[in-house]
Structure formats: C-alpha cells, structure tokens
Amino acid sequence: MSSTDIETTTHSPSGFDLTPPSESQRVALEADLSAEEKRVLLAHGTEAPFCGTLLGEKRAGVFCCRECGLPLFRSGTKFESGTGWPSFTQPVDETHVRAVRDNSYGMERVETRCARCDSHQGHVFPDGPPPSGLRYCINSVALSFVAEGQPLPDPLGRGDGSA
C-alpha cells in the first residue's frame, strides 16, 4: 500500500475524528436536513430570535452539530444571554469549532463553523461572561441535543462515544 492509499485522519485533543465527510457522506448528511436546516447550516442563514427549540433546553448533556454529529458545546457552558439564541461560553473542544471572519451585512463578526463538516453554526462575540468573556451565539436548528448518558449521533459511523 502506498502513502497515497492511506487516508489521513485528524483527531481533536478530546479524541474525535475531525476528518471531513467524503463527498458521498456529505450528500447523505445533507439529504437528511430539513429546508430550514439547509438554509442555516449550508447557506449561512440565521433563524429568527426566540424561536429556536433549544433556547430553553436546561438538561445536562451535549449540543452536537446537526449535520455531522460532532459535539460542540456542553450544557454546563450554556447561559441566558437575552439575545434569543442559545449562547455558550466555550466549546467542548477548541478544535471542534472553527472561526471565520464574516463581513456580511456591513458588520465585522466572527462566524463559527463545525470543524468537521464546515456547517454554519452562528457567531462568537467578545461580550460573554467570565471566565472566557466569549458568547457563542448559535442557531438552535444547527444543533441537536443529546442528554447526558445517551449515545452521541454518529451519522458518519465513526464510533465517537456518548454524552
């Protein structure tokens, strides 16, 4: 087997496979999304404030990327920001959330994307509470919630664990 036959994988410090989905996997993941999920995750849209189903979620668990299942935020980092979107102070693992400069709509912001599938999640602002001082403002439709002790979604078949 030559070195070109070996698929390179990248793992986060917390042990999750961050290798992007193959083209066929991406097609399957996107086929499972609703029209609103596609608008937010794939076309970098934003859901209306105070309408997201996860805004009031208070159970212990993990918020995962709706598209690929990568764990992005723990419930213990969620806080009420008053903005109308679920807000978090930090990701599960810094390598799970990618920051991208966003100058759309005449504003200077930092977009957050899933580090594995590159789906749009929301934005991060420097006005959050201590200790991080950050506010990850995330669309509910971009996330799936997994209660503590339940298996994480694994649409890519990577066997990455439980909440």
- Say what the pLDDT of residue 154 is: 92
- Say what the pLDDT of residue 14 is: 92
Instruction: Give the DSSP letter of residue 76.
Output: G
Kindly name the residue from 64, 65, 114, 137 that is annotated as catalytic: 137
Interatomic CA distance for residues 84 and 53, integer angstroms: 11
Paired tokens of 53: 């189903």
17 has pLDDT over 70: yes
- What mean pLDDT do residues 27-52 have? 96
Domain boundaries, the chain: 21-147
Interatomic CA distance for residues 118 and 33, integer angstroms: 15
Instruction: Give the DSSP letter of residue 151.
Output: B
Active site residue 137: yes
- Say what the pLDDT of residue 1 is: 33
- Say what the pLDDT of residue 3 is: 40
The pLDDT tens digits of the residues spanning 54-80 come to 999 999 999 999 999 999 999 999 999
3-class DSSP string for 80-149: CCCCCCCEECCCCCHHHEEEEEECHHHCCEEEEEECCCCCEEEEEECCCCCCCCCEEEECHHHEEEEECC
Q: Whole-model pTM above 0.85? A: yes
Confidence of residue 131 (pLDDT cuts 50, 70, 90): confident
38 has pLDDT over 90: yes
> How would you classify residue 58: left for phi > 0, otherwise alpha for psi between -120 and 50, otherwise beta?
alpha
133 CB contacts (<8 Å, ≥6 apart)?
126, 127
133 has pLDDT over 80: yes
CATH number belonging to domain 21-147: 2.170.150.20
Torsion of CA 127, 129, 132, 137, to 10 degrees: -60
- Tokens 């966003």 sit on residue: 102
